Amino acid sequence: MTADPVLVVAWLVLAHLGADFVLQTDRMVSDKTSSGRRAWRGLLTHGAVVAVCHVPFAAAFGVRGVGFAIVVTVAHVLIDRWKVRATRHAEAVALAEAHRRHADTGSPAGLGPAWTPIPGALFLVDQALHLVVAVTAWIVLIAFASLVPEFANGVDRLLGSVDPATFHAAVLLVVVVASLLIVNVRAGAMFVATLVHPREAVTGEPPVDDRPTVSADRPWWQIRLGPFIAIAEPAPSAAASAPSASSSPGPPSGFASPARIGATIGVLERLLIVTFVLSNATAAIGLVVGAKTLARFKQLDDRDFAEYYLLGTLASVAVALVSALVADAALATVGL
């Protein structure tokens, strides 16, 4: 008994997305972007997460599946290491060039003196390399391999009298929808933030005002859902929660930051576009973008904001469109 190739590839994509965008914590990212032993600790910890996400392939394909998981995990760690080094180099070059231009012109312009599209491009290359390695390893190692008899028998017992074709279509639908959610909620937000606000210093930390700070009090494991983090925050101490007499007045603490609100708007925008594409209502996409533009119309007189808005919107729409079209093609294989 062999596995359906579309379903296996869909599982491959979901395993990668889950390891990279759901189970990868801020502490892992902080460690990976540092140097020395700490960097390798973050890489190897993330590699362990990747390996765990590919355990089902070892269970389904036996020795070949184990080899597949090892190849994908090792390649993932090496690709991540290359991406971190390449991003830090791009940031250093952009920052040095910004200092030179700023000294020459005396004032910044556009998206910022140290803005560069290279970190955003490296983000896409990194993801593409991960998927190319996974698909290539699948073709070489398990595409033509039979399922382990025990695994196949277990699936048959699970199905019972259920029609295999119906079960296959339902599983594919669940896997594709889960992948779409991760791409458009978490991965899309990270890509847009990396493109619009590339890190302008070589510290490894992006300039996002609401990015959580990693500390000893923060748990190691957490679930990332776009601009939200599913973790239990430690209770603030009495000294920390008490207002300071010398502190200057500011926005009420209950107000969300503009960065978080913008990220949430982007998530909703992408999810709506995906829904419209899958339901063949593509004409409605213009309404979403138009409504977003109308709300920011007066701000578009500011060149810096207009560039920021246009770049972020085009990137967000592109992520939604591409992911929706790929998902639609996958679902079409089972008549959905």
Of 114 and 244, the structure prediction assigns the larger pLDDT to 114
pLDDT in tens, 191-239: 998 888 775 433 344 444 444 433 434 443 444 444 444 333 333 333 4
Tally the residues of the chain: 336
The confidence score (pLDDT) of residue 69 equals: 95
Q: Is the pLDDT of residue 144 over 60?
A: yes
Alpha carbons 126 and 76: distance in angstroms, whole number: 9
pLDDT band at 58 (very low <50, low <70, confident <90, very high): very high
Distance (Å) of CA 244 to CA 241, 248, 249, 252 = 9, 9, 10, 14
Give kind and range of the element (H or E) at residue 130.
helix 118-137
How high is the mean pLDDT of the chain? 79
The confidence score (pLDDT) of residue 191 equals: 93
Alpha carbons 106 and 113: distance in angstroms, whole number: 11
Show the tokens assigned to 293: 């533009």
pLDDT in tens, 37-52: 999 999 999 999 999 9
For 5-14, 18-27, 162-171, 172-181, which range has the lowest pLDDT when averaged over its residues?
A: 162-171
pLDDT in tens, 64-94: 999 999 999 999 999 999 999 998 888 888 7
